[in-house]
Chain A
Amino acid sequence: MAPLMIAALGLLMVATAFLSGLFGMAGGLILIGVLLTLLPLPSAMVLHAITQMASNGWRAFLWRRHIRWWPVSIYLIGCALALAAWSITRYVPDKPIALLLLGVTPFMARLTPANLKPNPESIWQGAFYGIICMGLMLMTGVSGPLMDTFFLGGKFDRREIVATKATAQVASHFVKLIYFGGIIDQAATLDPVLAVVAIAASMTGTTLARRFLEAMTDLQFRTWATRLITTVAGYYIIYGSWLLVTRSNAFAF
């Protein structure tokens, strides 16, 4: 990959990690969307997996004493089942489909009934959420908002929630890396320099976000987080639909 392209992607990753530090999941959502428009889908998925494993892995390591291993283990059962199912079909979505699903993902968590309390200790629920989240991950690259609803259902304290989710995310992104880096027919390769730049950029962006976070008021956080996620998700839905329509028209002629 050309040095200029690596530098541009590095800057993009600093910016998205910065947003992620401020708003939680928006950075990953933006990064995968931009990577999908710049790179072939398997390459975008592999690069995204590397950055997310680095950021979540660091968070899980810092709070390793708070990880609840039982929910992680049963969640992994679901991940394994999803990987097995996807490995048989070796399904890779088209970009328009991936973008459409990506746009819908943040709203899935918002549509979850408020009185629904998932139990992260239940084997069946853990496996069910693992399959759904891993399936979503293999089609869109992200599953964070839906995964949040699962771990928030337990009686964990806030550190346990964040540490346990981060560990589950490392596992999910690792499965994604294996799938798009080795199992599918047109597996992606990754420039090692770009992988190092990606990890460094993620850490830089997250560190920069802390200073801004402290200057934001509570109201600003809520307002901007909602606006940002809705705008980005809406853009993906419109862009994915447009690609789908133009492709259909191209086939029609």
Chain B
Amino acid sequence: MVDSTDPLVLDLVEWIAREPRLHSEVIETWRTSCPRLTIWEDAVDRGFVTRETVAGAGAGVRVAITPGGEKFLRANGRLR
């Protein structure tokens, strides 16, 4: 049922495109249970978002969109 979660994957990628987010923030905001919607996992599998380790102040794992994610947003009219 990949198609049925597509709009949600789009929402997630658009949300991350606004500004890079901490990995913990993404998981906390987008995690669901019963039904366990694999929105985050789908976005990672399809190469729309990537994790980057950031050193120094505000160190941690950040999530940003990839060129593939940008293309996905453009194709769906969410990025100009």
Count chain B residues whose beta carbon lies closer than 8 angstroms to a beta carbon of A.
23
Query: Known: A144-B35, A225-B36. Is A158-B30 also a contact (CB below 8 A)?
Result: yes
Sample 14 A-B pairs with CB under 8 A, ordered by A number: A23-B36, A56-B34, A114-B1, A144-B35, A149-B1, A151-B35, A152-B37, A158-B8, A161-B35, A161-B37, A162-B32, A165-B34, A166-B34, A214-B24
Please provide the chain B residues from 29 to 80 with a CB less than 8 Å away from any CB of chain A in the complex. 30-41, 44
Question: For chains A and B in complex, what number of residue pairs have CB atoms within 8 angstroms?
Answer: 66
- Chain B contact surface mostly: helix
Contact A162 B35 (CB under 8 A): yes
Partner pick for A25 among B7, B24, B35, B39, CB 8 A cutoff: B35
Interface centre among B32, B34, B36 (most CB of A within 10 A): B34
**Closest chain B residue, CB of each to CB of A221:** B41
**Closest chain A residue, CB of each to CB of B5:** A152
Contact A21 B38 (CB under 8 A): no
* Complex CA distance for A103 and B57, rounded to whole angstroms: 51
Contact B30 A25 (CB under 8 A): no
* Complex CA distance for A152 and B35, rounded to whole angstroms: 9
